[in-house]
Amino acid sequence: MTSQSTNIHKLLSELTKDATSYYIKQDNRLSSETVNGNTIFSKYKLFKGKITDALIEKHINREIELAISIKDANVLVFEYRGNEVYAFKVLLTSLAKYEGVNDIVIVNYDVNSLTILLQLEKHIDKDSLKMRLEKLLEDKLPKEWRVLPLENKPNLANLLYLPHEAFLNFD
């Protein structure tokens, strides 16, 4: 049997394999980034280079907090905040599977919040899929979610905060 630690390491390695830079949370340093008049402030500092296994292990052990730009990953992140968590989860996972997405990872599942990562294969057009899923969700549920990446926003607004644990779907 594979441990949760092995599963999360595998997930983080997969999520970060194409990233050419990464962010580490700083205790008291504040970074800022401005794009199209949108200024974002963050405690995450940008580092150039690939994420190593040692960095992933430090993250898993909660010695550091890692993030990557969603734009560097072939994923869509759905962040739901509302009263229909279960309905949103069931609907999104069903729609994603219908659209050919097989790697669905729930990284936060709480009473009023949910974060789901859809890991996309290279042949899937991320922007087109994002628009289709949002349209289908809007037809069924009140708009109580957002989907990353956000267009025309700085990278600091489009960070994928790497999870420490996840509910993995290996169907």
SS3 at position 116? strand
pLDDT of 170 over the 50 cut: no
Q: What is the mean pLDDT of residues 71-76?
A: 82
Q: Which residues contact 24 (CB under 8 A, 6 or more apart)?
A: 44, 45, 47, 64, 65, 66, 67
Q: What is the mean pLDDT of residues 115-136?
A: 91
Task: Write down the mean pLDDT value for the chain.
Answer: 86
Strands 103-109 and 44-48: unpaired
Adjacent-strand bridge partners of 76: 118
Q: What is the mean pLDDT of residues 134-148?
A: 92
CA distances to 25, 110, 132 from 123, rounded to whole Å, are 32, 32, 16
Q: Which two tokens stand for residue 161?
A: 């905060």
Lowest mean pLDDT among 56-60, 83-87, 89-93, 120-124: 120-124
φ/ψ of residue 141, rounded to 5: -135, 155
- CATH architecture under which domain 74-148 falls: 2-Layer Sandwich (3.30)
Its pTM stands at: 0.79
pLDDT of 149 over the 80 cut: yes
φ/ψ of residue 27, rounded to 5: -65, -45
Domain ranges of the chain: 4-71, 74-148
Lowest mean pLDDT among 3-17, 100-114, 144-158: 3-17
How much is the pLDDT for 35? Answer: 75
pLDDT of 3 over the 70 cut: no
Q: What percent of the chain has pLDDT over 70?
A: 94
DSSP 132: H
**Dihedral of the alpha carbons of 38, 29, 73, 137, in degrees to the nearest 10:** -50
What pLDDT digit, counting tens, does each position of 20-70 carry?
Answer: 999 999 988 777 878 777 788 889 999 999 999 999 999 999 999 999 988
What pLDDT digit, counting tens, does each position of 92-111 carry?
Answer: 999 999 999 988 988 888 88
